[in-house]
Structure 1
Amino acid sequence: MNFSNLLKELEPANLVSCLISQRGQITFEQYREPHLAETIAKINSCTKSILSALYCIAMDQGLLPAPETPASVFFPQFAKDRASHKSEITLLHLLTMTSGLDWTEFGGQNSFPRMTRTPNWVDFVLEQPLSDLPGTKMSYNSGGSQLLSAILAQATGMSVARYAELTLFEPLGIESYSWEQDPQGIHTGGFGLSLRPIDMLKFGQLYLQQGKWGNTQLISQELVALSTRSAVRAEAPRRGSYGWHWWTDTYPDRTDNDASLQSLNYFNAYGFGGQCIYILPSIETVVVLTNDQRKKSKIPLQVFRQCVAPYLLELVEGSITK
């Protein structure tokens, strides 16, 4: 695969890093500065996909019940709220952002910033009213991710970070990380984890390999497939669909008239500001992009589909014509 022009294509984005692996081998690795290769940095909402992996592992180990289990098993407050349908909220609803809790993340009532300014984040989320019936609509909600983190800590009897070390980080050889906590010491479920770009690539590779690392099945193939499958259409203006704290999409956009043309299906983790892990099973490829832009910009969202994906699609089309 010839990536000779990719560096030029990536210049406007001024990325911290871009890593591409194909069939388990790194074929492209670029950093703005050499030291950034070994620097841990916030991956923002990519944390959610790490949490999803930990949920799958805990389910495989029998520490967590089935995803259809009511969240009220862990938060009796939901069951006591007889004036609403909160008792119907399940673990699956929290994982797919379809809990129905009234939440705007940013803008409007600013639920996310308000949560981080309260003395008890979990209580804040539990107290939010419903705006929709559980399971009927996606509404991006980092508060729900914090509930999931609290549930995982309850179920495993240890901190989320410690559970991650034992079941995920140590097997993958991830030694450098940091993870923020809420005022109660619960590790942040929707953001706050910092990793090196190469360790983000390892995590993506684990999913490309259907949960297997070396000779060990860290996550069952069944739960890898289930958690990265489209479960609900993403809320506008976001594109694609959503699984268990994973995004799913296809490049390029197709219509019925050109459905016969080649396309790439992928699932990905995305963090604010351009922290991304893309997994493309059909071409055995993982892409990691990281950035440190503080201002809101659409460039990070465009990098994969405008710069990287065309090269990957070229690989597919080239192999077919040979």
Structure 2
Amino acid sequence: MDQEKNTKLEKVIHDDYGNIEGIIVQKGGKNVYEKYFNGYTAENAIHVSSVTKSVFSALMGIAIEKGYIKSVDQKVLEFFPDYAVQADEKIIQGVMIRNLLNMTAPYKCQSEPYEEFFASDNWVKAALDLLGGKENSGEFRYAPIIGTHILEGILAKATGQSVLDFAAENLFSPLGIHVHNVVLRNKEEQMAWYSKVENTCGWVVDPQGINTAGWGLTLTPADMTKIGQLYLNNGMWDGKQIVSSEWIAESTREQSRCVQWGNIAYGYLWWIIDGESYAAMGDGGNAIYINTKKKMVISIASLFVPDAKDRIELIKKYIEPAFEDCE
């Protein structure tokens, strides 16, 4: 990348994307750009918000490949045999894992009751209590916390391990990613972690010690890039198949469509950008972007701000054109 393009990109970041903490661009498996901002360094992990969902998607694929879970068509309630379903709530019995992964599960609420959910002493049960309703339309309903936390409960029950132990053994350790559990003791700590956490590392757990699937994970830009490169490599890492290529193909193709947010396609906890690219995206502008045709991985770690400017626009308009010819 020549200095003129470098200067132009960093001016755009400074002027319009001032909450960015770090960017790494890989082309063909090699770093072609790495830059940190706002006093951050390569060692600083940051809360990546909903990027957590896409990382968790990999864990679900691994669990299915290893036989802990039969398939995405397995019914959710099979994993919670003691959960009591009310007589007028039969719709919940038909909800499958697939519906939670592609955001087509039905819920009794129009928007997630965050305070009620976090105040409960059992987040999985609280999430199950909100699942269902009168109609199972199969339409896209983005539930950033409820559905994904049910998936965490499923993974823990299916494997007989804590989610972090399963992740460490099967995903994090092979990639050299180091994460520990974090306990948040009250609402104030939960809100602070979601919106202000910086210079720390870990993965939030609920009152039962189950890690959050929809948020709560901190990663460095290098960690994010490893996840992206793993997916670009169709699940291979250092000659070992970490995630099956079949799962990567299924989870990164259109499984549903979010009409209300620009008619964007959704896979299994991944956003599908176009025919050659997909991304993990989180509040504040965190992103892991993979372009399969150009063999590029772009990771952007950002401090939380409300209504952060679109990172895909930044990537498509400025970052990709600057690096797509790098060898």
TM-score of the aligned structures, taking structure 2 as reference length: 0.84
- Aligned 8 A contact 1:79 1:86 in 2: no
What percent identity do the matched residue pairs reach?
A: 31
**1:112/1:143 contact within 8 Å kept:** no
Contact 2:152–2:210, Cα closer than 8 Å, also in 1 = yes
Determine if the alignment matches structure 1 residue 265 to structure 2 residue 276.
Answer: yes
Shift of 1:318: 7.2
Q: Which residue of 2 aligns with 1:249?
A: 273
Contact 1:46 1:275 in 2 (8 A): yes
Match of 2:119 among 110, 117, 120: 117
Unaligned 5+ runs, structure 1: 251-263
Q: 1:150 to 1:37 in 2, by over 3 A?
A: same
Q: Which segment drifts farther, 111-120 or 200-209?
A: 111-120
Alpha-carbon deviation of 1:134? 3.7
Evaluate the alpha carbon distance shift between residue 34 and residue 241 of structure 1 in structure 2; reply closer, same or farther with a 3 A threshold.
Answer: same
Q: Counterpart of 1:75? A: 80
**Which stretch has the larger CA shift, 18-27 or 130-139?**
130-139
Q: Aligned AA for 2:315?
A: V
**1:36 match:** 41
Please name the residue that 2:185 is paired with: none
| Greater length-normalized contact order (CA 8 Å, ≥ 6 residues apart) | 2
From 48, 52, 68, the equivalent of 1:63 is 68
Aligned residues: 298
User: Does residue 310 of the first structure (1) align with residue 317 of the second (2)?
Assistant: yes
3-state DSSP of counterpart to 2:276: strand
- Return 5+ residue gaps in structure 2 as ranges: 180-200
Q: TM-score by structure 1 length?
A: 0.86
Find the aligned partners of 1:76 and 1:135 in 2 and give their Cα distance. 25
Match of 2:101 in 1: 95
2:147 is equivalent to residue 136 of structure 1: no
Deviation at 1:112, TM superposition (A): 3.0
CA gap 1:112/1:97 in 2 versus in 1, 3 angstroms: farther
Distance in structure 2 (CA, Å) of the matches to 1:191 and 1:303: 18
Give the aligned partner of residue 243 of structure 2.
Answer: 219
Are the aligned partners of 1:98 and 1:138 in contact in 2 as well (CA < 8 Å)? Answer: yes
Q: Structure 1 pair 211/134, CA: closer, same or farther in 2 (3 Å)?
A: farther
Counterpart Cα distance in 1 of 2:30 and 2:324: 21
Distance 2:30 2:168 in 1: 25
**Does the CA-based 8 Å contact 1:78-1:86 persist in structure 2?**
no
**What's the offset of the Cα at 1:227?**
0.8
Q: CA distance change for structure 1 residues 122 and 224 in 2, over 3 Å: closer, same or farther?
A: same
Q: What is the one-letter code of the residue matched to 1:97? A: M
